Amino acid sequence: MKYSTLPHTDIEVSKICLGTMTWGKQNTEEEGHEQMDYALDQGVNFFDTAELYPVPAEAERYGHTEKIIGSWFKKNGNRDKVVLASKIAGNGDYTKFIRSTGFSRASIIEAVEGSLQRLQTDYIDLYQLHWPERNTNYFGKRGYEHEITDYWEDNFHQVLETLRDLIREGKIRHVGISNETPWGTMRYLEESKVHATLPRTITIQNPYNLLNRLFEVGLAEVSMREKIGLLAYSPLGFGALSGKYLGGRMPEGSRVSLFPRFDRYNGEIATKATQKYYELAQANDLSLAQMALAFVNTRPFVTSNIIGATSIKQLAENIASIDVSLSEDVLKGIESVHNSIPNPAP
């Protein structure tokens, strides 16, 4: 395994992060425990979860993924071997069963306390805001459209004050954001620069893969200049970049077959790009999945690559991508495809 350091800390994390979004819906508790055992044995010490998980979110399964992680900690007593990240859910039609008060002080405290209880731990190493409260372009929306009905009021300062207090109490150690824009990212950073007592945002968790490199438009420069690390999620585009949907296939039990609304990486243009990437991988004796993951692993702004799997076989292949080196010819081939079909899946 290879490691990096969470920016502005001395915390060393594996370049591969174990994503947990399927545990409690597509995976059982036993399977979740098996994945954590395997990942830790392979040197993966960074786990990412959220109060919202598993996804798709539903009231009956709320927090179930965190409970699976918590029961694993209790069984093995190895909390100290893991750098743990979790998130508070933002507002949305599909999160009203959690709460409808956004990132108010009471909401953040309630969310953190609930996660700590489910995770059976006294602290969370990295606590993240899952997505912005304001209306903006996240979750598959390519461009920003200003909405005059957006009643959000600027509360960056208040949010950071609450997180600061939770850090002082020892319940969380560091702060991150997710599904953010350059404007939102800079606002959080500027608040902590102007007000020295407020915690600095150290990571941003956004989608990044061969079919969606929009992070490079604006946020990559912010990441490099401000030293805020990308935790790249969906590096395989909901499985599309494994190639399993090519040729019109729809494997039984696959994510898109189970949840058709998660099809943003399977449109006509995205599929055309995936086919080209598949042919490039085949021509260079690589699997498409490992080529796609290896590309993400080597980007200079990526602190860790969040991989997920529903089987140990998938997990093993994904983790092994850390040892895959891409030749200059492969990298040039990737850029050629990207330049001809840029970002087909927002």
* CA atoms 251, 289, 261, 16: torsion sign: positive
Q: How many residues does the chain have?
A: 346
CA atoms of 95 and 97, how far apart (whole Å): 5
Q: What is the pTM of this model?
A: 0.96
Rounded to an integer, what distance in angstroms lies between the CA atom of residue 43 and that of residue 49?
Answer: 18
Q: For residues 63 and 308, what is the distance between their CA atoms, to the nearest angstrom? A: 18
* 114's tokens: 């609930």
Give the 3-state secondary structure of 55-92: CCCCHHHCCHHHHHHHHHHHHHCCHHHCEEEEEECCCC
Quote the CA–CA distance of 287 and 294 in Å, as a whole number.
11
Contact in structure between 124 and 173 (CB atoms under 8 Å): yes
Residue from 15, 4, 3 nearest 307 by CA: 15
Residues labelled catalytic: 53
For the domain covering 3-340, report its CATH number: 3.20.20.100
Query: Which segments within the chain are labelled E, that is strand?
Result: 3-5, 12-14, 16-19, 46-48, 83-88, 124-129, 172-178, 201-207, 229-233, 302-307
Tens-level pLDDT at each residue, the chain (346 residues):
999 999 999 999 999 999 999 999 999 999 999 999 999 999 999 999 999 999 999 999 999 999 999 999 999 999 999 999 999 999 888 888 998 889 999 999 999 999 999 999 999 999 999 999 998 988 888 888 888 777 788 999 999 999 999 999 999 999 999 999 999 999 999 999 999 999 999 999 999 999 999 999 999 999 999 999 999 999 999 999 999 989 877 777 777 776 776 788 999 999 999 999 999 999 999 999 999 999 999 999 999 999 999 999 999 999 999 999 999 999 999 999 999 999 999 8
C-alpha span between 21 and 24 (Å, rounded): 8
Cis peptide leading into 346, omega within 30 of 0?
A: no
- pLDDT number for residue 94: 83
C-beta separation of 51 from 89 below 8 A: yes
